[in-house]
Structure 1
Amino acid sequence: MVVTSGAVGLGAKKLNLQNSKGSLFDKQAFASVGQSLLMRIWEECFAKFDVNIGQILLTEDDFSNRKKYLALRNTLNTLLEYKVVPVINQNDVVSTSELESSNTCKACFSDNDKLSALVASKLDADLLVLVSDINGLYDKNPKDDKSAKLIPVVEKITPKIEKSASGATLGGRGGMITKLQAAKIANRTGACAMIINGTIEHIIQKIFNGAPNIPSTVFKALPQEVISGKKRWIAYATNIMGKLIVNDGARDAIVLNQKSLLAVGIVAIEGEFSRNDVVAVYDEKNGEIAHGIVNYDSGECRKILGEHSDKIEEILGDKVSNDVISKDNLVII
């Protein structure tokens, strides 16, 4: 499968507005013009090998809505059964999440990194290949420091590794930071990830043919940390609707002992959310520790904050669970 980008840039170029930063509405219009051009390019490329392609345009809702999220897998698998290559892109005509933060309309290397990781996760892919305009992850920014060294293999993405990622690729909506985030998702869902330089001619073909000395960075899968099924959706695929801040005892219970989150361990609540929404759990030092599905809405959580579970029914007049987030619906990030 291919996750692509470039509709906005191609549309802007077609309209001779490629140097325009443009408003959100401008970029959505550029995407409308450019999407057919982008698909034509992919169709012509695959036609050389007598391979058909199928266009799939996705928005955040296709992942946040669990029914749509589950249906996506069936569609992708059916295309693959027909030997059709799915060409996937974010639907920039109606989606705003990436366009609002974009400052460029040039057709170059673009982001879609998290989207590609989510799709790879959904299909239990073995490998996620992330295309950049540099050879891979360096210990320093190679565009600023000529002494920077390529890191060929990453056993695990640590805070030290994350510090190595700085700056963004020109002309795109992402950079090395977003690619590291995508690699982390891939690794925790059972896939290896690889960052390669797309400006090297035939690089993908060379890699799959086993050519030696191809510059790249490989991120190894983490079989001991793999999450699956519903927890993948909770961890990475859905919108986060609120934030719960917990004390050290609750943090340790979640992280060290894989326990449920109880109201007694919550010290603060941010945002407005409903029952069964996904929220983020943070410690008191503002470190994100988990995502989970809440059993109580934000108003109810504020009323039972810091209270023992045996007081929930007395306070709310109703008790659906002893837990604010049950351990089966809680994923450590």
Structure 2
Amino acid sequence: MSTIDTSTPERLTGETGDSSFNDKLREAQSRGGQLDQEGIDAYKEYRGPYLDGKPPLAESDHKWEEKDIANVETEWLSSSGHRLMLWDDLLLVTMKNGDQVLVHAGVNPRLHEVAKEKLDAGDVAGPPAWTEKELSEEHENWLGQREAGGFEVVTSAEQIPELGDLRFIEDGYMDMSAAVYHPGNGFQLTVDDNGAYGANDTALFTTADGSKYAVSKEVSPEAYKKVKELAETRDKIENKIEDDGYKVMSGRDDIPVVTDGTKVETLAPGVLAVETPRKGKFIVIESVTPEHFANLSGVQAEKQQGAVDKAFEDRDLPPAKETDLMLAETSEKKDGKAKTVGEALLRQPQGGL
């Protein structure tokens, strides 16, 4: 008596819900795994609507090198900010130049194999670190939406810059990307304590190079605390602008001529308050006017050194440059002037004079 085989064939990587395509995939597997063009076209036709709006499918003629693979993921980020598992064992491969492709095990078996090995071995980062944390639905959705909008999610306090490194929007400057989350002029930094711009206990900021970052207290309490402190300092500086008659120095402004009456005060790393007898009061921000900032930082250092020397003089002590070894003069000269020890050391190879 004959028996009927009712066993289910072992599932192949890349199978879909279409039995006709799956038969083509099994046939390709017996030949080494590579679908012929008819099979590739069949997959693209069957999954056409699903593939729309995603990175392109890496076909058999896609050029790549293993060293160029930067990351591999099994999920993709939708425009709504939701991370969704990819169908059909697809992999999302990101190259070092930022290009992304979807890789199917039958359409490009070699790239799929190499990418899967890298992911399983931990040779690539995989999904963003913040997605591994247990977050509230509110924060998870908020961060996903920000990531879909081009923001990088901050995972440690070390990623928070100094205030002077933030992007500054000058008065009257239109920035539609900033308007989404920054209601006015000033440093592009918003801390949300009441849900007005997203989820509570979140923050957004932009650095001078245009990079955008999202902060969640649930992801990194330390980063959130640090960005709140930045915001408090920012508020004090903006109050100086609004209430004390200061204006932000722009690249169009001349560097002030410094006199004995010039006052230079550090408000935060990368931010100076400068008051001149003739030109008025300015806030000088390193990311806005780096040349002005460097010049006036030097003036401040000189004024501080002068204050130290005056204190030494009042106590019948020699000036600091005569007691600081690095400022002591050497026999080596430049432009007719003796070099200091510090200047001479800078010119020497490692190992000393």
TM bucket (normalised to shorter chain) is under 0.3
For the pair shown, the structure with the greater C-alpha radius of gyration is 2
TM-score after normalising by structure 1:
0.24
With normalisation by structure 2, the TM-score equals 0.23
Higher relative contact order (CA 8 A, sep 6+): 1
